[in-house]
Amino acid sequence: MLFTRTSFSVSTLVVIIGVALWGLIRYWEIEGGDNGQTNDWIKYLQWSYYKNETFAKMPSLEKEVPFKKATFGMGCFWANDALFGGQPGVLRTRVGYSGGTTLNPVYRNLGDHTEVIEIDFDPSVTTYKDLLKLFWENHEYGLTTFIKRQYMSLILYHDDEQKHIAELEIKIEAGKRNEKLITEIAPAGPFYPAEDYHQKYRLQKHGWIVEELGLTPELLQTSQVAAKLNGYVAGIGNRADLDRDMRSLAIPEKIASYVKIQFLENEGGSLYC
Ligand code: MHO
């Protein structure tokens, strides 16, 4: 009787401690206790636990932070996907068709849509204005010559603040260049993701990385790892950010050093499509 009671108490205690620890860990995960520092630590533990199981678990390391969207058309979207993905504060990117009215556009039949990039960004790290600066400076066909709707210069704003900033900035930019800019500014409507082979186009040229990290077609559109690596293999960004991101996203060493070599080869090069 005594023995049974004792073992009951011990197991109850174990359960209570277990539940308390679990609660604490959940609190840290959700609230980012300890000023968010612990989040990375918890995620590192999660990663250590999962890493031998499958790399497909890796995106769990990614930060879940409040984000805003930005949508731009600047010519062929392959280059822009890499350009924005490699910027600090850009969490995720995906390419697709938007701005028109045609239902369910596809690459060979865009209708009145434009090739656009959709960006999820952390407004505490980068601003809409920062993103617009890259927008003005990186058009495939420039800002004054209309080629066709597929490649037109387009800003699709997501709220009044973005509309206001875009309308102000286009005037400033036109003044600086002393030219009339053809950029259209319109509210963001339906976005149709492009076919899988267009997503993270530069990264998909290195198929073994995509495979080894378990980057499924869905993750190519939703994972921060995919966005960053797609930028870095194309030579976007700088070495310090690259090293920091490789560590914080826990990219395995073999992949990190390969990506760095690609980065150094393409660093400073032009963004071709
Ligand atoms: N020059 C490229 C453009 C592709 S893009 C996604 C091609 O013709 O394939 O528009």
Identity of the residue numbered 99: G
Q: Give the contacts of 192 (CB within 8 A, at least 6 positions apart).
A: 96, 97, 98, 104, 105, 113
CA 110 – ligand 1 centroid, Å? 13
68-193 is classed CATH 3.30.1060.10: yes
CA 273 – ligand 1 centroid, Å? 6
CA 114 – ligand 1 centroid, Å? 13
Structure confidence at residue 47 (pLDDT): 42
Query: Contact 157/106 with Cβ under 8 angstroms?
Result: no
Catalytic residue among 61, 70, 76, 219: 76
CA distance 12 to 122: 44
Structure confidence at residue 23 (pLDDT): 59
Query: Contact 138/80 with Cβ under 8 angstroms?
Result: yes
Residue with tokens 């049974």: 4
Query: Is the alpha carbon torsion for 27, 31, 34, 38 positive or negative?
Result: positive
Please give the sequence-ordered ranges of beta strands (E in DSSP) within the chain, or none if there are none.
68-74, 90-98, 114-121, 153-157, 184-187, 191-193
Minimum CA distance residue for ligand 1 atom 4: 76
Reported pTM: 0.78
Q: Is 76 annotated as catalytic? A: yes
Minimum CA distance residue for ligand 1 atom 2: 273
Atom of ligand 1 nearest to the CA of 78: 6
Ligand 1 pocket mutation pick from 78, 113, 117 by most atoms within 8 angstroms of CB = 78
Cα dihedral 153, 155, 156, 162 in deg (nearest 10): 180
Query: Contact 158/68 with Cβ under 8 angstroms?
Result: yes
CA-to-CA dists, residue 96 to 2, 100, 147, angstroms: 69, 12, 19
Structure confidence at residue 213 (pLDDT): 96
CA-to-CA dists, residue 134 to 39, 45, 84, 85, 129, angstroms: 31, 36, 8, 12, 9
Cα dihedral 74, 218, 126, 62 in deg (nearest 10): -160
H-assigned helices in 32-76: 37-50
> pLDDT, tens digit, for every residue of 98-157?
999 999 999 999 999 999 999 999 999 999 999 999 999 999 999 999 999 999 999 999
The ranges of the chain with pLDDT < 50 are 1-3, 27-40, 42-44, 46-58, 60
CA 96 – ligand 1 centroid, Å? 13
Structure confidence at residue 54 (pLDDT): 36
Atom of ligand 1 nearest to the CA of 198: 6
For 266, the 3-state DSSP assignment is helix
Cβ(115) – ligand 1 distance below 6 Å: yes
Give me 71's structure tokens: 């949508």
